[in-house]
Chains A and B, each alone.
Chain A
């Protein structure tokens, strides 16, 4: 069994923690440069705002309906994500950070009532972080994803699914008939791995629900459609085909993370691991024809090695300009790693996440991997520093030593009038409270 934990309306929920006045109001978070909606509160959904919809199309709702539109605050989201991931890890033995707000947890070897355990983790995330999340449990990733969808919908839209599945939904506990009931209530387009185009084709052939898809013969599906859809069908039937930490193309973020076979203590092997993750992530990025604006890296010790000193840090490094260039992304990731690395710990896990994805139109792709690395790093770093200082005034970024130090997040980032302060990553931007 595995679980998928997912923060509800992640970016909006994260903003609301620090601005409780946003509760109950329609709120959207806009992509970089305020282009389109990347997160919506339930109230904003109810106003008809669609995911990815350009801001200019619904801008009038600010006046007409009290809509609050915020610029994405990736420093804040990175921090809250990091806190969320470490609490979610408590659910089971193995974790795959799938995106900034989603994580798969392997429940192998976890004893006791999985639903009760999930509810406790969910309650902890809600109390400790103020973030609502949903938990879906199933024997395969596709089913865990589906269970998560059920858990969310049952809470958001009462009546869409039986209320007992709200917040936490465990498919493995259902009878075959009970499972089929849920699958029948799920449109085929909601299934993980069924894109809009395939969904269209399936509906044209009369397959409209997940239940119908699950009853198809997998081999026939391979012949008539594709290996990808065959895999989805087998997963719906309960046969795991998508391995842990081997994810299909996600939508808004690309993550490449791994638990180490043996604890890692030195910087050098971490640099190698991070370079590899960043390389893989950059490949995925190019494959889906997008550019990344920011690179998030994290390293952490294992919470399961109780006698070990614990250490967990992350950093979001903005790219000088959005790109899909392996060299740029790797060097930014290493820059971040060096800033957060501390010797003396048994590191168990590390990862790279690419954030702020955008279509690659506009910029041109470059792939330059010459081996004069040190000179190139320095050149790029200097140029980045110059760019930032040109933009925000001299001395915004200073080089204190040859080694990169943790830079205040906010000073790197584009100033956007709709963005909330970097409450948790910048000392000067700390949340204020009236006394």
Chain B
């Protein structure tokens, strides 16, 4: 194994001269005009893969109520909830308060946390002394289906 110095900060370590055999590329060779699709190797976009980054940690929940209306979440929507994401200020989260699951905006300011609705007719939820609020997961998408 040789190390060739090209300049002071570039070093090509382990230059190997072993040929690499490439086979089974999934294309056939034709004489004549090539198929326009051959060099693309395209796959149809996968909605699940787009919406779900951590399959093991992702759960689907049904939204009930209109307190998150201004965040685009309406009654009956399906929420994609990722428990692997660490909740930060501004995230829409699923929180557990008094044993109940609620969906709200998470606000953390100066070390104090608040759960804010996205609808002016709902008050903020400010944990009282001794009340534990636990973040269950972070909402990463809301799915609305249209009646057809």
Inter-chain CA distance A433–B115, complex, in Å, is 14
A201 within 8 A of B: no
B38 within 8 A of A: no
Q: Are A129 and B64 in contact (CB under 8 A)?
A: no
Name the A residues within 8 Å of B83 (CB-CB).
127-130
- Name which of A34-42, A175-183, A362-370, A424-432 contacts chain B: A424-432
Q: How many residues of A contact B (CB 8 A)?
A: 21
B124 within 8 A of A: no
Cross-chain contact of B100 among A130, A423, A434 (Cβ < 8 A): A434
Q: Are B102 and A435 in contact (CB under 8 A)?
A: yes
Name the B residues within 8 Å of A129 (CB-CB).
56-57, 83
- Chain B at the A interface: mostly helix, strand, loop or mixed? strand
- Given known pairs A127-B83, A433-B79, the reply for A21 and B68 (CB within 8 Å) is no
- Given known pairs A20-B100, A127-B84, the reply for A434 and B57 (CB within 8 Å) is no
Q: Are A435 and B96 in contact (CB under 8 A)?
A: no
Cross-chain contact of B136 among A20, A312, A423 (Cβ < 8 A): A20
Centre residue among A83, A124, A430, A435 by max chain B CB count within 10 A:
A435
A381 within 8 A of B: no
Interface residues of B in 21-55 (CB under 8 A from A): 54-55
User: Which residue of chain B is the closest to A435 with respect to CB atoms?
Assistant: B65
Inter-chain CA distance A432–B63, complex, in Å, is 6
A23 within 8 A of B: yes
Q: Are B102 and A128 in contact (CB under 8 A)?
A: no
A61 within 8 A of B: no
Cross-chain contact of B62 among A87, A312, A424, A433 (Cβ < 8 A): A433
Interface residues of A in 23-72 (CB under 8 A from B): 23
Inter-chain CA distance A423–B136, complex, in Å, is 15
Q: Are A435 and B99 in contact (CB under 8 A)?
A: no
Interface residues of A in 118-149 (CB under 8 A from B): 124, 127-130
Inter-chain CA distance A285–B79, complex, in Å, is 41
Q: Are B61 and A431 in contact (CB under 8 A)?
A: yes
Q: Are B100 and A430 in contact (CB under 8 A)?
A: no
Name the B residues within 8 Å of A432 (CB-CB).
61-64
Inter-chain CA distance A23–B84, complex, in Å, is 21
Q: Are B100 and A128 in contact (CB under 8 A)?
A: no
Inter-chain CA distance A124–B85, complex, in Å, is 11
A358 within 8 A of B: no
- 15 sampled A-B residue pairs with Cβ under 8 A: A20-B96, A20-B99, A20-B100, A21-B99, A23-B99, A127-B57, A128-B84, A423-B59, A430-B60, A433-B61, A433-B63, A433-B102, A434-B65, A434-B100, A434-B101
| Other A-B pairs, 5, CB within 8 Å; known A432-B61, A433-B79 | A129-B56, A431-B62, A432-B62, A434-B100, A434-B101
